[in-house]
Structure 1
């Protein structure tokens, strides 16, 4: 579905202020629109895929994000030097920093996203709760202001009643969040939440919400243009999470009936209009067992999981962001947006599910990516690439589309069976386990799915699932070569599969 009917490129050159798969995704959209792309890179990212894909590339500093990807001054300087018309922030890093959006405006460079005002309003989670209440959006019972003293937290938590959630006032994304099930857990949870919030956002203030038992995490995609039009593009189910971080998403959600789906879309549009929202954004909700939904937060950026919305609606969200930022109106109305089929996304991480999902970086010795009808792989790596310890360990986002949920799951399982990564440990086997689990197949999921059902022993598979890995290892042996520096083996202990361990050892001789 086209956002605009104009054939003239909306910009001449766009700087992508990010790295990895999202930077590559934005650059592909630029290329399709006839726009040149500008990459920025830290020292370890000198040979990264997004640098190779860009028309122009500029170094911005050492590995530490605080000295490179988070340096507003450096990014603005590169934008001016490269004569970029606009900056796309991607997700993470500076994408939800009002100061960055304002700095772009001050420098005469278009920020591809909402206004600094909208980012600030929704970025302060307590202020966002106030705004949503005013707009008539259902909000989880809790504090109306950030709580600076531990005494305030203890008093309010007791008044609301346990269990409660402690949340960072200065940001979201699961950082500074703690579930407190009883009064005796409160002090230690509060110390941990404040410490994590301070580290992530430079702000240790928290607020308290009533914890919803076994909630579904469901979000609604919105698009708003500069002409006052706002539409929603339906929901994404994001309940399969570990440590409050999403790992599997799907659209539509099995939890919603048509009446609830329609009402959530209406409320999401109202939330966006409350802050004069422009661009792509996501309104996130917690949904209880009775399908009552409550505002959680609004993410004022493109989401990691945006491809599943693209798959079921046909709307290219990144192109839409770019065209909206250029002042073009949406080329469609709400009635034109229709969900077709079912899409599932599995986030492929360099992490070890058998070791508490800890990051497992290293050099990718062998990489075989699945393909075929209904399969999309948004990747930021390549064979020979060194997965860094300095950044989020996401390798790619694997998306499967089908006419039905069962078909989408079947395609995803087929694709996961074809996915081969030798070197860093990856979570491919975990995804196979999750999609085969009876509760997932039945749509009986919530944010506690992984904690309730997963144990490392669940991945003790037979050799059938390991055949792609074994084949890749044998191919690596045949090519010969020297040993690589990283290894993809798991923690010390008995091998999970003798074939798997042999395959990994032999493959790493390349």
Structure 2
């Protein structure tokens, strides 16, 4: 076994690899960019080396710097994680030339599977089932159209060097083929530097099922069973589970054996994933990923094995720890990828500071020699206070659950998602809650079009417990303003004391998500409180919980408890499995703003100023575009929140700005 390895990655996978290193007593070295100087993965490792600027092309993709870091720290091997350089044959070759072990497959295996067309030719020779199609060298448009016409429509055009859903087009009829081919080739050339495409028969309502394989340097090869990754958006996975539900034993065994045959065909070593597309009991080879997969935890949960440990042992020259006959599945596991993104806007990535982050009670990693399984596991590369930047994948965490059955795992996943609390960027948590409880997923009616086919149900407005959430928001506000909780000494409740009478106050709120206004009437008379809220009037009591942000309230006969995170005048309420945000309309603060006549316009996320549309002294109307920022490869226009006069512009074109930075000063009209 190695004494020290370098982890050529960041985020949750770097933390994940470091966890196994700690358990095995192997020292770990992190690498980090300017943007990641204080990142969680840096703290998780024993040493850390700075390798460049924030952009991945200037840091995590500069493999010469990574190899230099390995040499400087005495690391014997490099673990590439996934993404970045994990399937880069030049990097693997450079490691070999430097005398550093690459914890992955041989260079030739990476090269063989790096081209979809070449890989399918190898699989055909190895008798691995293939989808009918053309994978040859002739790229003449007329020839390709004749091939598509002969196999029948619909067909799927795929970039030979592609991945991640790029360079793919579904063609429904012959008349559309030429335009789709030209578009596919342009995207392939732009994304991968190679415009070669292949054609396959497009299968309607297919499942995406993959098999985890492992091979060693001594001729040993096994499969660690299958995972279903059918639930996708934009050809990218959202939910994964193991084992794939509904497979007959003979199909599962045949698929595993085909995956091992694929690995042997390229003299594979280490961890790999063979991806298949399925219709009914028929399965066809799609591609082989020559690395550890994002969804590997579900395999770990059902097998009780640490796949990173297996990677290290195989790379160190040891034989596989177990043979095929010794491997088995226990229970069912699900993984949900929690992203900073906005599902309502086409899953656009979101950036910003994680002002509040609370994940369900679980463990980051607990698999060892005894095969202990946690029912809930969190794999995350961020902490509260960290910033989701536009430079990298916006994953917040992977939430993994294990249960005795799929139904048990589904119930645990539902409860775990309800316990997730994130304040800052938009997230997909609410969308995931809807997804795991929708009929098709709960009933294991899985295929790659599940989200699109159930779009209306997954994206329609949902009923939320507004009244209960407002009752908790009021409790938190009264607590912040110095009120005494129900049952506390009246001598401590001096803030609303009145001689010979009660008091009444009107609390104005705005639902941040729907921009709906609420007016809540709170009265206190003779020791009894009343709340008129969302069409209901009832006796009101409230109290603080054990935690600083825990509150409870009763409104009439309804009792509710939850957590409230206060961010300025915005109260984020987490209760009854939902999250809502209400902005308190603080009249005193608004009056002060009006008196000073100033408005602060701040950056909604980290990014670069690409246009300044006004100069100091400009008089603008509400909504007038002022500054254009670029973040996450998209443009965002900052408009005037009210009519007024621009008194100062604080940034110029080309400047990088942090999340929340004031961009200019606007004097209200």
**CA deviation profile, 1:370-405 (whole Å, cap 9, x unmatched):** 025500010011101100111111111100100000
Change beyond 3 A, Cα 1:403–1:470: farther
SS in 2 for 1:389: coil
Once residues 476 and 422 of structure 1 are traced to their aligned partners in structure 2, the CA distance between those partners, rounded to angstroms, is 18
Query: How far apart, CA to CA, are the structure 1 residues paired with 2:517 and 2:171?
Result: 35
Q: Give the corresponding residue for 1:503.
A: 581
2:422 is matched with 421
Q: Tell me the residue number matched to 1:285.
A: 276
SS of 1:246's partner is strand
Deviations 1:208-238 (A, max 9, x none): 1111111000000001111110000100000
- Could you tell me the TM-score, scaled by structure 1's length? 0.90
What residue is the counterpart of 2:546 in the other structure? none
Question: Is contact 2:358-2:421 (8 Å) kept?
Answer: yes
Q: Check conservation: 2:431, 2:458, Cα contact below 8 A.
A: no
- Once the two structures are superposed, the pairs formed by residues 43-122 of structure 1 within 5 Å of their partners are 43-122=34-113
**How far off its partner does 1:113 sit?**
0.4
Aligned residue-pair number:
489
1:246 aligns with 2:237: yes
Match of 2:290 among 300, 307, 329: 300
Query: 2:331 maps to which residue?
Result: 341
Moved more, 102-111 or 252-261: 252-261
Higher strand share: 2
- Matched with 1:165 is 156
Q: Within 5 A, what are the aligned runs for 1:60-459?
A: 60-146=51-137, 148-289=139-280, 291-372=281-362, 374-455=375-456, 458=459
**Residues 512, 581 of structure 2: 8 Å contact kept:** no
Compared with structure 1, are the counterparts of its residues 229 and 185 closer, same or farther at alpha carbon in structure 2 (3 Å cutoff)?
Answer: same
Q: What is the alpha-carbon distance in structure 1 between the residues aligned to residue 324 and residue 517 of structure 2?
A: 51
Deviation per CA, 1:40-78, whole angstroms, max 9, x where unpaired?
111111111111211111111112211211112111111
- Cα deviations by residue, 1:433-476 (Å, 9 ceiling, x for unpaired): 11111111111110000111024863533335998999799989
Cα–Cα, structure 1 residues 236 and 457, in superposed 2: closer, same or farther, change >3 Å?
closer
Residues 478 and 25 (structure 1), Cα distance of their counterparts in 2 relative to 1, 3 Å cut: farther
SS where residue 503 of structure 1 aligns? Answer: strand
Aligned partners of 2:470 and 2:309: how far apart in 1?
A: 36
3-state SS, counterpart of residue 581 of structure 2: helix
Contact persistence 1:146–1:169 (CA under 8 A) = no
Q: Deviations over 1:84-109 (max 9, x none)?
A: 10000000111011111111000000
Does the C-alpha gap of structure 1 residues 364 and 496 become closer, same or farther in structure 2, counting only changes over 3 Å? Answer: farther
Task: List per-residue Cα deviations over 1:158-203 (Å, max 9, x = no partner).
Answer: 1221111111111323221222222343344334322332233221
TM-score of the two chains, using structure 2 as the length reference: 0.69
**Cα pair 1:366 1:476 within 8 Å, conserved:** no
Alpha-carbon distance, 1:420 to partner:
0.6
In 2, the alpha carbon distance for the partners of 1:93 and 1:283 equals 20
2:339 and 2:428 in contact (8 A); partners too: yes
Q: Which moved more, 1:394-403 or 1:367-376?
A: 367-376
Partner of 1:4: none
Measured in 2, the distance between the counterparts of 1:73 and 1:464 equals 55
Match of 1:485 in 2: none
The separation in 2 between residues aligned to 1:307 and 1:197, in whole angstroms, is 31
Aligned with 2:134: secondary structure? coil
Contact 1:422–1:504 (Cα < 8 Å) also in 2? no
Whether contact under 8 Å (1:147, 1:207) holds in the other structure is: no
> Partners in 1 of 2:583 and 2:291 — Cα distance?
41
Q: Residue 504 of structure 1: CA displacement? A: 6.4
Alpha-carbon spacing, 1:91–1:468, altered in 2? closer, same or farther (3 Å): farther
Change (3 A) 1:455 1:121: same
Which of 31, 45, 51 pairs up with 1:40?
31
Structure with larger RCO (C-alpha < 8 A, sep 6+): 1
